[in-house]
A and B are shown apart, each in its own frame.
Chain A
Amino acid sequence: MDAILLQILNGLDKGSAYALIALGLTLIFGTLGVVNFAHGALFMIGAFCAVTLQRILNLSFEFVDETQTDFLGNPLKVKTPYVEAWFGPDIGGSIIDWAVPLAILFAIPIMIGVGYVMERGLIKHFYKRPHADQILVTFGLAIVLQEVVKYFYGANPIQTPAPDTLNGVVNLGAAIGMDIVYPVWRVVYFFFAVLIIGGIFCFLQFTTFGMVVRAGMADRETVGLLGINIDRRFTIMFGIAAAVAGLAGVMYTPINSPNYHMGMDFLVLSFVVVVVGGMGSLPGAVLAGFLLGVLESFASMNEVKSLLPGIDQIIIYVVAIIILLTRPRGLMGRKGVMEE
């Protein structure tokens, strides 16, 4: 029982990342009608915002310590971060320690800016082109972005730890007499994802801006005829979708050390999530994200693998096939989307 609950938790946690990325993908597809294969790269850029802030906070000045030597036997150059010099070792150390949560503030304007430039500079020229063209250009863009990141940060994973206080484990089953030990940061990630998803839904549901965007998603032409500049709003939505992917990336860095390829690792999975959820359906993307995360976790259980060897590697695609055979529009897909 403990093992099953643990895998459910683990699945919800994995699903959080899938749902956040798929939510952004669906927002872009639902508003602009663009199949954005560069969305994984936005997730990766978000993660590297955290790496960058960590490096900025660790910018150091050097002094030569004659009492110590480096690996070549020369006097050792000791580095002290400016932050620690300015605020003292305790406060400065804490600021560096909290680099990842602080990176949320750092990443939001950067990601909105990246999204805006990407949409205005490249993707808007492909609105009326076939989906195949959109996929090719955005996939090409994703490769360019990841190579740029690799050029500046290298190919190896870069450790970006969570703050010390959020680094341990918590027994989530203590209250009910069970032993369900789970990493604190993963619990934080789950609640963060729920908060972001809830925030996006509230924004679309309860603001005038959101109402116009929803109307534009349902019938762009009519909204345009009412004199509303829906294109400008959709551009802003692209920026918001980029920020959501970026924040998902920022918060993911303590879970797995980021590397330039991490966006591609999530891209295909996220598209499967969008298709299973239903093209253009925001609740569908979230539901499918969590569902596939949980199923993927269960498929990794030894009991399941002993019955169906290799199922952990194909479960997501098997589920996608079954759902698309029984519900061709996905779990919550609407009639008319991608069916013209």
Chain B
Amino acid sequence: MSNFDASRRRVLKTGAIAGAGVALPTIFTASSAAAFTNEPTGGSVTLGFNVPQTGPYADEGADELRAYELAVEHLNGGGDGGMMNTFSSKALQGNGILGKKVEYVTGDTQTKSDAARASAKSMIEKDGAVMITGGSSSGVAIAVQGLCQEAGVIFMAGLTHSNDTTGKDKKANGFRHFFNGYMSGAALAPVLKNLYGTDRVAYHLTADYTWGWTQEESIAAATEALGWQTVNKVRTPLAATDFSSYIAPVLNSGADVLVLNHYGGNMVNSLTNAVQFGLREKVVNGKNFEIVVPLYSRLMAKGAGENVKGIHGSTNWHWTLQDEGSKAFVKSFGTKYGFPPSQAAHTCYVQTLLYADAVERAGSFNPCAVAEALEGFEFDGMGNGPTLYRAEDHQCFKDVLVVRGKENPTSEFDLLEVVEVTPRAQVEYAPDHPMFAGGNLGSCNPGA
């Protein structure tokens, strides 16, 4: 027994020394590996695409996913390179990111904040995603942005239009390329003034959640600055399907403009109901009654069919733009999938390239280095003219499109026409603008 005890002690001592010896190098490498969350160590890097694959925005999510797959193909040197050829930064070489092959995992946001957080968490913790991107809802974007901030990964927002995403809920690890409610108001107001004059009475129907509230505030402020009156702002439940009981009071309200702060299925139904009730044929206060849809989506406009004809709104990007970047993207996307991309696809594709480019310029996947590379970054060739990723709130500033439902579409994709490209200077605002107040960007979190 004593022999065995002595032997055991020796084994333990030897084991401890050997273990420490073996662990010593890894302690140092571990400390460097733990510098930030999910540092890629092999020959590949994993990105997390968090899009609605089920639920009401599943079609928009599918288009986002197509754009991400295209972006990954281009980053890895496949296809025709798309916007990498027109992008003003030439850091991307088509050999992955920092020489690592780009791989991806996908999550399903279901357009529910809790589900979106769960899928993002899973991609970060289980799949080792170093960046999360995607989504079709501001509620989801804000929720996932918060999670990424805590986890120490970069969040490149997808389609999110609420002022709050880069306003009171902004985060140092979060970046938004898409435009916002304030920009829609600033772009639309001059066009509305030219079309409908300064003596108008507006009635707002608004989806009752963060995006609807901020858009309503933005559009009302922009139109009231023109001299318009706002006669009523009515909040409608997000789950509403038949808006007829909300439309009927508009008829006798004295309003001559109806502003529909609705998106997706809400927009399709409220616009259809408004047209059914003959609002567009109505004459009020001696003027033709008008309807405005501040945030347009081609995918959703399709659901409203002929009802969108002649109705004005704004959009982040449209496939008919004739700049080199847009043409390159439409060609790549259209050749691969057989139809033109949506604005959601565009913003997701651009976000992926912008992230990859920032990593290349920073020389590191460290979120803080990437954030530093993105902050204040000026670029061009991505479809929206010269663009700035503002350092103060991580919001992109670029031209905004005012569009109108096309009277004589030539195809099922040809639903909107660009009325005006509103220059970037017209939609800019101060970082401490009251509509964006209350938040704190904080400092970047590398995690680990």
Given contacts A169-B281, A257-B303, contact A14 B237 (CB under 8 A): no
- Verify A157–B252 contact, CB threshold 8 A: no
B265 neighbours in A (Cβ, 8 Å): 157, 259
- Verify B304–A257 contact, CB threshold 8 A: yes
- Verify B303–A155 contact, CB threshold 8 A: no
Q: Which residues of A (151-195) have their CB < 8 Å from a CB of B?
A: 154-159, 161, 168-169, 181-183, 185-186
- Verify A313–B237 contact, CB threshold 8 A: yes
Given contacts A256-B242, A265-B241, contact A156 B303 (CB under 8 A): yes
Which of B232, B237, B303 is in CB contact (< 8 Å) with A157? B303
- Verify A161–B305 contact, CB threshold 8 A: yes
Stretch touching chain B among A25-33, A118-126, A271-279, A297-305: A297-305
Which of B251, B276, B281, B320 is in CB contact (< 8 Å) with A185? B276
| Chain A residue at minimum C-beta to C-beta distance from B302 | A156
Stretch touching chain B among A5-13, A134-142, A209-217, A223-231: A5-13
Chain A interface residue count, Cβ-Cβ cutoff 8 angstroms: 42
Which of B54, B60, B278, B282 is in CB contact (< 8 Å) with A168? B278
- Verify A161–B302 contact, CB threshold 8 A: no
Q: Answer whether residue B103 sits at the interface, using C-beta atoms and an 8 A cutoff.
A: no
Complex formed: what's the CA distance from A256 to B266 in Å?
10
- Verify A3–B411 contact, CB threshold 8 A: no
Complex formed: what's the CA distance from A312 to B265 in Å?
19
A70 neighbours in B (Cβ, 8 Å): 411
| Chain B residue at minimum C-beta to C-beta distance from A185 | B276
Q: Which residues of A (30-48) have their CB < 8 Å from a CB of B?
A: none
A186 neighbours in B (Cβ, 8 Å): 244, 276
| Chain A residue at minimum C-beta to C-beta distance from B231 | A302
Given contacts A7-B248, A256-B273, A257-B303, contact A154 B59 (CB under 8 A): yes
Closest-CB distance, B384 to chain A (whole angstroms)? 19
Q: Answer whether residue B228 sits at the interface, using C-beta atoms and an 8 A cutoff.
A: no
B276 neighbours in A (Cβ, 8 Å): 169, 183, 185-186, 255
Q: Answer whether residue A72 sits at the interface, using C-beta atoms and an 8 A cutoff.
A: yes
Q: Which residues of B (217-271) have their CB < 8 Å from a CB of A?
A: 232, 234, 237, 239, 241-242, 244-246, 248-249, 251-253, 265, 268-269
Stretch touching chain A among B19-27, B174-182, B330-338, B343-351: B330-338
Q: Answer whether residue A131 sits at the interface, using C-beta atoms and an 8 A cutoff.
A: no
Chain B interface size, under 10 / 10 to 19 / 20 to 34 / 35 or more: 35 or more
Closest-CB distance, A99 to chain B (whole angstroms)? 13
Given contacts A3-B249, A157-B265, A157-B268, contact A261 B278 (CB under 8 A): no
- Verify B241–A256 contact, CB threshold 8 A: yes
A161 neighbours in B (Cβ, 8 Å): 305-306
Complex formed: what's the CA distance from A257 to B340 in Å?
23
Given contacts A186-B276, A257-B268, contact A159 B302 (CB under 8 A): yes
Complex formed: what's the CA distance from A327 to B320 in Å?
61
Closest-CB distance, A258 to chain B (whole angstroms)? 9
- Verify A10–B411 contact, CB threshold 8 A: no
Q: Answer whether residue A296 sits at the interface, using C-beta atoms and an 8 A cutoff.
A: yes
Q: Answer whether residue A221 sits at the interface, using C-beta atoms and an 8 A cutoff.
A: no
| Chain B residue at minimum C-beta to C-beta distance from A13 | B244
Complex formed: what's the CA distance from A161 to B306 in Å?
9
A206 neighbours in B (Cβ, 8 Å): none
Complex formed: what's the CA distance from A71 to B318 in Å?
12
Q: Answer whether residue A133 sits at the interface, using C-beta atoms and an 8 A cutoff.
A: no
Closest-CB distance, A153 to chain B (whole angstroms)? 10
B339 neighbours in A (Cβ, 8 Å): 71
- Verify A14–B234 contact, CB threshold 8 A: no
- Verify B305–A255 contact, CB threshold 8 A: no
| Chain B residue at minimum C-beta to C-beta distance from A252 | B242
- Verify A14–B244 contact, CB threshold 8 A: yes
Q: Answer whether residue A262 sits at the interface, using C-beta atoms and an 8 A cutoff.
A: yes
Complex formed: what's the CA distance from A313 to B237 in Å?
7
Q: Answer whether residue B436 sits at the interface, using C-beta atoms and an 8 A cutoff.
A: no
- Verify A255–B242 contact, CB threshold 8 A: yes
A182 neighbours in B (Cβ, 8 Å): 277
Given contacts A7-B245, A158-B303, contact A181 B269 (CB under 8 A): no
Given contacts A169-B277, A181-B277, A259-B56, contact A157 B248 (CB under 8 A): no
- Verify B239–A10 contact, CB threshold 8 A: no
- Complex interface bits, A41-77 against B, C-beta within 8 A gives 1, otherwise 0: 0000000000000000000000000001011100000
Q: Answer whether residue B435 sits at the interface, using C-beta atoms and an 8 A cutoff.
A: no
Complex formed: what's the CA distance from A154 to B413 in Å?
16
- Verify B302–A6 contact, CB threshold 8 A: no
Given contacts A71-B340, A169-B277, contact A159 B303 (CB under 8 A): yes
Q: Answer whether residue B300 sits at the interface, using C-beta atoms and an 8 A cutoff.
A: yes
Given contacts A156-B59, A156-B300, contact A297 B245 (CB under 8 A): yes
A259 neighbours in B (Cβ, 8 Å): 56, 265, 303
Given contacts A150-B58, A155-B58, A257-B305, contact A296 B245 (CB under 8 A): yes
Q: Which residues of A (1-23) have their CB < 8 Å from a CB of B?
A: 2-3, 6-7, 10-11, 13-14
Which of B59, B237, B268, B334 is in CB contact (< 8 Å) with A71? B334
A157 neighbours in B (Cβ, 8 Å): 265, 268-269, 300, 303-304
Complex formed: what's the CA distance from A202 to B411 in Å?
48
| Chain A residue at minimum C-beta to C-beta distance from B52 | A155
Complex formed: what's the CA distance from A255 to B277 in Å?
11
| Chain A residue at minimum C-beta to C-beta distance from B267 | A157
B253 neighbours in A (Cβ, 8 Å): 302
B281 neighbours in A (Cβ, 8 Å): 169
Q: Answer whether residue B441 sits at the interface, using C-beta atoms and an 8 A cutoff.
A: no
Can you list 5 A-B pairs with a CB-CB distance of less than 8 A? A156-B300, A159-B306, A185-B276, A297-B244, A305-B234
On A, residues with C-beta under 8 Å from B are 2-3, 6-7, 10-11, 13-14, 68, 70-72, 150, 154-159, 161, 168-169, 181-183, 185-186, 255-257, 259, 261-262, 265, 296-297, 300-302, 305, 312-313
A68-B410, A169-B277 are known; give 4 further A-B pairs, CB within 8 A.
A150-B54, A168-B278, A255-B273, A255-B276
Q: Which 5 A-B pairs have the closest CB atoms?
A: A159-B305, A157-B303, A169-B278, A300-B245, A155-B58
